[in-house]
Structure 1
Amino acid sequence: MSFLRALVGTLRSTRHAPRLAEGLTPDDDVLLDAPDERLAPALVAAALGDPEPAAKLLATTRDAAEWEDRDRYVTRLATFAYGRGEWLERWREVAPRDPDALLVSAQLAVRRAWESPARAERLRELDPLLRRLAGEAGRDPVPWRLALDHARGAHAGHAVFEGLWEQALLRSPHHYGCHVAALKYLSAQWYGSHRAAFDFAEQAADDAVDGSLVRALPVRAGYEALRPLPGAGRDRAAEPVADGPRIDRAADRGRALSAAFAAGDPWPAEARNLLAYVLVARGRWAEARDEFGRTGPYATSFPWAVGGHDPLRRFLATRDRTRTELARRTPLWERAGGIPGRSGPRGH
């Protein structure tokens, strides 16, 4: 019987998998962490050693209070400077007190400290710099997001963290990056629990304005609940997921948010990649296939790079697996119209 089941599954996959590729971006056209039309010229100029476009871009986001864009750009510019930092050094030389240059430099310094074997000690050394940046930032919540990330790695106590969180909220009550930083602190991976993370994420999503990526925060809590805890010593995928119903409700909320954006929109790309990851982990193959369709050409390093994986290769492999699993679960006589695995008219 196991041989027969395997044979039927193979026949189903052969029949349906090619059709399930319709509407998906071809593998060769998928982009990893593609910059938007504002960031791309700044990165090209930085590659040529010119920091001026990056400086103008961040100054624009600061003056226009475009905090979500600003946070993304600071992170991406620091990531670029991690491997090619000459342009940032030049920027610091010509404008040593430029707040945007200092912010990118601080983001880069925090990343390097996080990667150090002496992480907590290295992060604590950065405390005076981050406090000064945050204190001089005015309405900008990005330095406070950076301070929250720093505090988690430096083993700051709950009172310290809550103080930073309150200051972040005063600047921008619905800033996605600050909420993600707080959620990480509250997760079971760090200083909280799955329940604390879900409670925080669900309340934040309830309070968020329409279209805010904070509405996808419960999906991030679901992702954290799926991860193996440090020192667990076992494959978490083989364990029953006690938070399964809560993860599924989070995924439903994430799907509703994703549907509010056009397919192929780069803005919610990371949220959609994360949602697809969680749906696959929950075995929700038809919905995962939909989400891979909505991502369009935009793959993101998170969550696919976690664990040292090649993120683009893992994204594509998981997308292929989703099609295969969905095809294997579709009756051979499913009519060619429509998506396999869903209710609808059938033929012979």
Structure 2
Amino acid sequence: MWSMGLRWDPAAGDPTVHALHRALRSRNWAEARRVVDATPGDERIALIDGFAYLPNAYALASGWVAAESHDRLPALVQGAAGVRWAWEARGARVAKLTRQSQFEEFHRRLALVERTLWEVVADDEDDPAPWTFLVKSARGSRADRGEAQRRFVGATRHAPFNTVAHAHMLQYRCRKWFGSHEEMFVFARSATRTAPAGSLLPVLVALAHSERWVSSGGEEVWNYMRAPEVRAELRAAAERSIWHADHRHSIGWPRAWNSFALAFSVARDWPSAARVFDGLGNRVTDDWHYVLGPARLRFRLARRKAYANRDLPVAA
């Protein structure tokens, strides 16, 4: 599919995510359970998170709940998909451009979804998956810092390298939400230091720099990502993560690779960007939302520039 050019696919071509989606579309509950149960460890969380991005995910999961109402797995999948469903009601525009009716529907949906996820937690407090999606919802429900941390601890107690939970906690700690640039970087760098070699967790460094970049104003917006120390830290994170010999393509890997491709492209480190694009093929994700324009267009333009300049030295 990828050789034919860029095609928008919310699952970035992940066959396991699509298998879960197909099973629920066909109301094959046994197959849906088989797909989830066959997915090990942290990848199970990434699978459920990836499913939430696909069309009608919440409605499909709700059908599973209606058919098997006393089972926690359908409720978990419904709750995870429901967080994104709630955000769809709010929309992606800044608060001042969002209608009051959108906020009201967003909070109505989020309250409904959180109630489902808390019921799943109550059934098994050691399962990191429901806690992960409660970390994701913490920003929308305006959970205080202590509560957000409690959810994060639940998500990582038995899954310390849970990339989905870390990515959402990073967002909570951003200045635009409830934290600061300093707090965000402390979090990202600490996770990177403790992550196993080849893990996706060092992508937090790329995400943090992208967040810092978009918050810049005036002339600084053009200079921040091109600073030698930023470029060096991005390369070090990639070497510890997606370029490491121990790295493997687990569920959700294209999101991390796209985040690195974006960061290197904005930094105008074209040789590094080209190296990431080589590994991505045509797998474009919506992680390009940091730059204006459709994700596929921004991806295509950045890749073209990277390939045209891959053999040039990076300017100081």
TM-score category of the 2 structures, normalised to the smaller one: 0.7 to 0.9
TM-score (norm 1): 0.74
Give the one of 301, 306, 311 matched to 1:317.
301
Q: What's the counterpart of residue 294 of structure 1?
A: 279
Q: What's the counterpart of residue 97 of structure 1?
A: 70
1:130-182, Cα deviation, whole Å (9 max, x unpaired) = 22222323432121111111111111111111222222232211111111111
Give the one of 278, 288, 296 matched to 2:263.
278
1:253 correspondence with 2:231:
no
Shift of 1:278: 0.4
Structure-to-structure mapping, 1:331-346, within 5 angstroms: 340-342=311-313
Shift of 1:120: 4.2
Q: SS where residue 323 of structure 1 aligns?
A: helix
- Taking structure 1 as reference, are residues 155 and 244 closer, same or farther at Cα in structure 2, changes over 3 Å only? farther
Cα distance in structure 1, aligned partners of 2:247 and 2:191: 25
Shift of 1:199: 0.8
1:171-195, Cα deviation, whole Å (9 max, x unpaired) = 2111111111111111112111111
Cα distance in structure 2, aligned partners of 1:68 and 1:310: 30
Deviates more, 1:305-314 or 1:144-153: 305-314
- Taking structure 1 as reference, are residues 50 and 84 closer, same or farther at Cα in structure 2, changes over 3 Å only? farther
- Taking structure 1 as reference, are residues 224 and 29 closer, same or farther at Cα in structure 2, changes over 3 Å only? closer
Deviates more, 1:161-170 or 1:75-84: 75-84
Deviates more, 1:249-258 or 1:33-42: 33-42
1:214 correspondence with 2:201:
yes
Q: What's the counterpart of residue 109 of structure 1?
A: 82
Cα distance in structure 1, aligned partners of 2:303 and 2:4: 10
The code of the aligned residue for 1:67 comes to G
Cα distance in structure 1, aligned partners of 2:225 and 2:311: 29
**Contact 1:204/1:215, CA 8 A, preserved across alignment:** yes
Shift of 1:217: 1.9
Give the one of 139, 145, 150 matched to 2:132.
145
- Taking structure 1 as reference, are residues 214 and 113 closer, same or farther at Cα in structure 2, changes over 3 Å only? same
Shift of 1:40: 3.4
Aligned length: 296
- Taking structure 1 as reference, are residues 244 and 123 closer, same or farther at Cα in structure 2, changes over 3 Å only? farther
- Taking structure 1 as reference, are residues 69 and 240 closer, same or farther at Cα in structure 2, changes over 3 Å only? same
Cα distance in structure 2, aligned partners of 1:306 and 1:132: 35
TM-score (norm 2): 0.81
- Taking structure 1 as reference, are residues 190 and 275 closer, same or farther at Cα in structure 2, changes over 3 Å only? same
Report percent identity of matched pairs. Answer: 20
Cα distance in structure 1, aligned partners of 2:114 and 2:19: 32
Structure-to-structure mapping, 1:41-60, within 5 angstroms: 41-60=19-38
The answer for unaligned runs of 5 or more in structure 1 is: 1-24, 327-338, 344-348
The code of the aligned residue for 2:298 comes to R
**Contact 1:215/1:253, CA 8 A, preserved across alignment:** no
- Taking structure 1 as reference, are residues 30 and 322 closer, same or farther at Cα in structure 2, changes over 3 Å only? farther
**Contact 1:59/1:100, CA 8 A, preserved across alignment:** no
Q: What's the counterpart of residue 122 of structure 2?
A: 135
Structure-to-structure mapping, 1:110-259, within 5 angstroms: 110-115=83-88, 116=90, 117-118=102-103, 119-120=106-107, 122-228=109-215, 238-241=221-224, 244=227, 247-256=230-239, 257-259=241-243
Q: SS where residue 209 of structure 1 aligns?
A: coil
Instruction: Point out which structure has higher relative CO (alpha carbons under 8 A, 6+ apart).
Output: 1
Q: SS where residue 76 of structure 2 aligns?
A: helix
- Taking structure 1 as reference, are residues 152 and 315 closer, same or farther at Cα in structure 2, changes over 3 Å only? same
Tell which structure's C-alpha radius of gyration is larger.
1
Q: What's the counterpart of residue 78 of structure 1?
A: 52
Q: Supply the RMSD in Å over aligned alpha carbons.
A: 3.1
The answer for unaligned runs of 5 or more in structure 2 is: 91-101
Deviates more, 1:99-108 or 1:40-49: 40-49
**Contact 2:189/2:205, CA 8 A, preserved across alignment:** yes
Deviates more, 1:34-43 or 1:155-164: 34-43
Q: SS where residue 85 of structure 2 aligns?
A: helix
- Taking structure 1 as reference, are residues 226 and 277 closer, same or farther at Cα in structure 2, changes over 3 Å only? same
Q: What's the counterpart of residue 95 of structure 2?
A: none
Shift of 1:239: 4.9
Cα distance in structure 2, aligned partners of 1:30 and 1:178: 28
Deviates more, 1:169-178 or 1:39-48: 39-48
- Taking structure 1 as reference, are residues 159 and 236 closer, same or farther at Cα in structure 2, changes over 3 Å only? farther
Cα distance in structure 2, aligned partners of 1:169 and 1:45: 29
Shift of 1:70: 1.2
1:58-84, Cα deviation, whole Å (9 max, x unpaired) = 2333xxxx2322122212323335268
- Taking structure 1 as reference, are residues 265 and 146 closer, same or farther at Cα in structure 2, changes over 3 Å only? closer
